[in-house]
Amino acid sequence: MSEIPTGGPVVAPYSYELPRDRIAQRPVHPPESARMLVVDRSTGSISHSTFAELRRFLRAGDRLVFNETKVIPARLFGNAAGADVEILLTEQVAATAWRCLARPLRRVKAVGSVQIGDVLRADLIGPELVDRAVLEFTSLVPDRSVCELLEESGTMPIPPYIRSGHGDQQDRVDYQSIFAKNEGSIAAPTASLHFTSTLIDSLRQSPGCDVSTLTLHVGTASFQPVVVDGGLRPPATERFVVPSATMAEIESTKRSSGRIVAVGTTTTRALETAAAAGGEEGETGLFIQPGFSFRVVDALVTNFHQPGTTHLLLVEALLGRDLLAACYDAALGEGYRFLSYGDGMLIV
């Protein structure tokens, strides 16, 4: 489902100059010590705090909603006839076959197969795709399954702006939220990386917040270019499940005048899709941009996003262009750390 405001000019995504040294390469520890910019939409005020102090800005009866998707080790490094190849699994299409992004794709298509260490071979199978490949994986190790070897050989798909996308064992911990439960994402719902069990428990106790969960498996929508041939391209569809229990909890919170605090743009997308479609499970192509009318989300916890992305369009839909720019200018001026492993913001 795609929902795009009509009747007005297309709004190009907000962009800004992001120095490379402001892109966080590792998260801070403990996670709740990350800085948090707080912006009040009603007054336009901007203040600075940390996630450890989040309780100061929430109220009794507010409900935080988290995405409990689990990131899979989806990035593989191999060799195609002497050339280094990088593979990113994007969608499983059969028991041992995946639709993949590959770099260099032309080399993979020309050679037809990729060797991944001494343990796996990936063979190109049809149909021919313009921007990606469908690869069939074969185990080269007796009595070891493809699934096991993909889990062991793959690395966490950290974005390329973090250490050139080369994840390590620490990323298997850092690039996974405490709510990670249902496997299927190729990118983390990064806003939730700031939360620990201790922080969640404290929010439940004081000021007395509630917590709900849903699942949206993050796919290529998180990093595909949004401007194509001078126009906006809606994000790719992503699978989601909003349990009936979560929908009931949200309705109860709304009736009691509590606020729904979405933790992350992925959570926002799932909630607003379920509300608009009247369904709780499926695929969403919802494109939230300025002019969108939010039915569920009252407040948002989010990270600082790459310039010119769909995530920024979603945040702009809540804040407006001027206030969004003021927030990013303030964050840059105050030395915040940006993107997936960086600091975050609370929009109320």
Indicate the pLDDT class of residue 11, thresholds 50, 70 and 90: low
Secondary element (H or E) of residue 332: helix 321-333
CATH fold for the domain made of 20-71+172-347 = QueA-like (3.40.1780)
Q: Higher pLDDT residue, 11 or 140?
A: 140
Q: Find the Cα–Cα–Cα–Cα dihedral 133, 134, 138, 140, rounded to 10°.
A: 10
Q: For position 4, what pLDDT does the model report?
A: 38
What is the per-residue burial (b if ≥16 Cβ within 10 Å, else e) of 309-328?
A: bbbbbbbbbbbeeebbeebb
Q: For position 220, what pLDDT does the model report?
A: 83
Q: What angle do CA 289, 337, 20 make, to 5 degrees?
A: 90
Q: For position 99, what pLDDT does the model report?
A: 93
**pTM for the full predicted model:** 0.93
Please state the rounded mean pLDDT for residues 3-24.
73
| Average pLDDT value for the chain | 93
pLDDT in tens, 209-229: 999 999 999 998 767 777 777
pLDDT at 9 over 70: no
Where do you find CATH 2.40.10.240 in the chain?
75-154
DSSP 109: H
Q: For position 83, what pLDDT does the model report?
A: 94
% of the chain surpassing 90 pLDDT: 85
Where do you find CATH 3.40.1780.10 in the chain?
20-71+172-347
Among 11-20, 35-44, 128-137, top mean pLDDT goes to: 35-44
pLDDT at 6 over 50: no
Task: Give the C-alpha separation, 201 to 204, whole Å.
Answer: 5
pLDDT at 3 over 50: no
Q: For position 222, what pLDDT does the model report?
A: 67
pLDDT in tens, 136-184: 999 999 999 999 999 999 999 999 999 999 999 999 999 999 999 999 9
DSSP 52: G
Task: Give the C-alpha separation, 233 to 222, whole Å.
Answer: 13
pLDDT at 16 over 90: yes
Strand 83-94 with 63-67, pairing:
unpaired
pLDDT at 10 over 60: no
Q: For position 23, what pLDDT does the model report?
A: 98
Domain 75-154 falls under CATH 3.30.365.10: no
pLDDT in tens, 236-295: 889 999 999 999 999 999 999 999 999 999 999 999 999 988 778 999 999 999 999 999
Write down how long the chain is.
348
